[in-house]
Structure formats: C-alpha cells, structure tokens
Structure 1
C-alpha cells in the first residue's frame, strides 16, 4: 500500500467543518431562565462559547471581563433593561455596543421602536425561530 494510505484513513475520520466553522463567544442577557437556556443550548450546539446573565448588573460585570463577539439582550427586563445596558456599554465598553442583538416582544411600542432605530443594532422580534437567532449571531462573527 502507498505510504499515504494511513493518512487518508485518519483524515476520513475527522469531520469536515460545516459552514458555521467560525465560532464565537456569546453573552445572553435575559431575565427569564427558560429563554436564556433555550438560546444557550442552541448556540452551544453550533459550537459557540456561551455565558448567560439574568440581570443587567450581571451582564455588565461579564462584559467588563469578557471578549464577546455578540451579545443577545432582551429589551424588557427589571431595572435599567436593555436600553440601560446599551447606554452603560457605550460608556464603559463602547466597542461592545454594536455587537448587541436586541430581543423584543414589544413590536408596537413607539419608545422601543425609536430606541432600536437610534442604536442601529440588529434586533429580533419574539417569537423568533432559533435558526434566525443563530444566523443573526453568526453575522456578527
């Protein structure tokens, strides 16, 4: 047998990277555990590293130490909410602010619509398909 045969057999056992070969570190911010968990699992299944935060305060602490390629953030949360999180990031880590993807169930709230337009950030309207969420995240990578 030619000497390249064992290499060819070994290479056949290594799965080829799929189209989502780019992996990122993602922060998921939502006060609802079940939503955080579903999103976390969907992103882990795609090979991303995922941290989660239940509050804006937790999210700001993580954002201060983490190098995130994308941050998924619910707009309506207790305390300062997604808008307060965004403004705090602008002040403390301005390079992270454009990496936020907002999630909102408030499709017709004019204040939220104005806020989203002002930020220029990507946003998803609940309910959304997990595949849409994954695609939005991977656009930022």
Structure 2
C-alpha cells in the first residue's frame, strides 16, 4: 500500500502512514487528513512532510544501508550511550544513538536498523511505551528489540520483559553478554537450532 511521511499538526511528531490512492492525491494537493496520533492520543489533522512515494519506488542513495549491522542505542544516560557506542563501533557495527524514545522514533522512520537496543526507564515516553508503539505502528521492528535496565527488582519490569519476549540485559552491563544477544537477534530465523532427528 502506498505511504507518505506525515506530520501531526498538534505535536509535530512525524511517522510513516499508509493511505489509499485517493488520500494520497489529497495529501499531494496539500489537504490534511484526520488521523489518530499515538503521541497526542487525540484525533488530529495530519499533513504531508514530503511528496508521497509509491512502495515500489527505489529508495534514494542516501537511504542505502551502510556496511555492517546497524544498531540504534536508546538511553537517557550519556555515559551508557558513549560506552556502548564505542564498544559496538569497535566490533564493526554502524551505531546511531538517541537520548530519548521520541528521538529514537524520529530516526526509525527515516532509517532502517537491524537492532534497537533500548533502556526501559526514561522520562516520559519510556521503553515500555516505545515497545507498544513499535508493536502497533512499526511491527517490522518487533523482533529486533532488546532492552537494558538497572531495575532488577520491580515486578512490573519483570512482567513487561516476560510479556514482550524480547532479549534483555541488566545493568551494570556485561558487554560480551550484550554482544551475544545482539548477534542472536541478527541471526537468520532457525539458525543454531538442532536439526530434526526424525528420519525422512
């Protein structure tokens, strides 16, 4: 289905939205459409921020994937971001960093990441809300998320991690453990599984 990059006229958040051809023509003419905003939580007018693009149109050269797996780091702690970014870059990962979930979403709608590595406790729009947004609006990322947290005691956090099914690591971080879980996310489905012993 065709899509366009759109902007909420109330909170100015941006996201990729799918439209019918008739709606795309309206957007191309500058018309705003009434859509539900996951940030404002109210129906609000949305307008185009760039010309609509059919789904089969080649991506621009600037959108070509860089060499090496791409990882998006999300944490409001600058030290954690800096340490992880240096460690992953040294292992030939292409790394982008965001100090908030909202900042991360702005990157996710414009770039494609192989892994999203996010803290859970952040001010306002936290890691749990980010994950719910991904499940609802960006399901292609659903199986690419890993969480970090220093909260080892909260029943709510434990329940969230269990329900999400995402890999996670506790702070202080063991980088080898984090790296192993990132590599597991990057592995093709079924990789590393023992073959079925049942004879053909």
| Matched position secondary structure for 1:101 | strand
Report which of the two has the higher share of helix: 1
TM-score, with normalisation over the residues of structure 2? 0.58
8 Å CA contact 2:117–2:146 kept in 1: the answer is: yes
Query: 5+ residue gaps in structure 1?
Result: 1-21
Contact residue 42 and residue 134 of structure 1 kept, 8 A: no
Mapped partners of 1:123, 1:35: distance in 2: 15
Using the TM superposition, give the Cα deviation of residue 139 of structure 1 relative to its aligned residue in structure 2, in angstroms: 1.3
Structure 2 Cα separation of the partners of residues 78 and 51 of structure 1: 20
Q: Which runs of 5+ in 2 are unaligned?
A: 1-66, 187-200
Of structures 1 and 2, the one with the larger relative CO (CA 8 A, separation 6+) is: 1
Is 1:135 paired with 2:180?
Answer: yes
Within the candidate set 147, 155, 162, 1:102 is matched to 147
Corresponding residue of 2:171: 126
**3-state SS of the aligned residue for 2:92?**
coil
Q: Is the 8 A contact 2:102 2:125 kept in 1?
A: no
Q: CA deviation at 1:77?
A: 0.5
Residue 111 (structure 1) aligns with: 156
Q: Return the offset for 1:48.
A: 0.6
Correspondence 1:25 to 2:100: no
Deviations 1:24-58 (A, max 9, x none): 10000000111001001111000010000001110
1:73 counterpart = 2:118: yes
Q: Report what 2:92 is aligned to.
A: 47
Distance 2:76 2:164 in 1: 22
**Maintained 8 Å contact 2:88/2:95:** yes
| TM-score scaled by length of structure 1 | 0.81
Q: 4+ runs of 1 displaced by more than 6 Å?
A: none
- State the SS of the aligned residue for 2:139: coil
- What is aligned with 1:17? none
The Cα of 1:23 is off from its aligned counterpart by 3.2
